[in-house]
């Protein structure tokens, strides 16, 4: 029977609700497979043997005790060279003052834009010789900015007084460092 006829019988039985005995579908005849090198059919070619792979000789490595140490044992115990300078405390205080001024002057309508941030950028460019020094300076600037941002939301009398005190303290520190 063809596939179309089987499908027609199945559709008709489903449509009418009748059960129809469908004869079994004929199965395909089994195919015969031959095992490798055994029971080959007549006229079959003999496969070529695999080529032997070239074996690379192993390189003898020296024992680990003969290798020089990666890091000198004395260098492990020595602390890194100090990055501090004698005026760092004053410089970090000046950075904190510049951060506070950057926030407070803008809050009180000074319209100076990025003046105090630019001054801080100059200090970082000249004094930030290493990443650690730059990070300390930037952290101090941000601490001054964030501390007064938490405290003042509008320009008040105490914010104006703090600004004038910061300007005089910053001028004194800058002249002492110069």
The whole-number pLDDT of residue 63 equals 63
DSSP 39: S
Tokens describing residue 140: 């101090």
pLDDT tens readout for residues 112-166: 888 888 888 988 888 878 888 888 899 999 999 999 899 888 889 999 999 999 9
Q: Which residue's structure tokens are 């140490």?
A: 69
Q: Of 28, 29, 49, whose CA–CA distance to 37 is shortest?
A: 49
Residue closest to 110 by CA, chosen among 63, 66, 159 = 159
């Amino acid at each position: 029977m063809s596939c179309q006829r089987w499908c027609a019988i199945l559709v008709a039985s489903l449509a009418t609700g009748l059960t129809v005995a469908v004869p079994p579908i004929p199965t395909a005849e089994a195919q015969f497979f031959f095992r490798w090198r055994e029971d080959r059919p007549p006229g079959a070619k003999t496969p070529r043997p695999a080529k032997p792979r070239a074996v690379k000789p192993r390189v003898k490595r020296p024992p680990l005790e003969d290798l020089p140490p990666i890091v000198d044992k004395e260098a492990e115990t020595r602390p890194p060279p100090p990055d501090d300078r004698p005026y760092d405390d004053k410089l970090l205080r000046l950075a904190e003052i510049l951060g506070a001024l950057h926030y407070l002057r803008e809050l009180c309508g000074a319209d100076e834009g990025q003046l105090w941030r630019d001054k801080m950028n100059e200090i970082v460019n000249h004094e930030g010789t290493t990443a650690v020094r730059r990070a300390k300076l930037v952290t101090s600037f941000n601490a001054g900015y964030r501390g007064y941002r938490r405290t003042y939301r509008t320009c008040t009398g105490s914010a104006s007084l703090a600004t004038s005190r910061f300007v005089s303290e910053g001028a004194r520190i800058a002249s002492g460092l110069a």
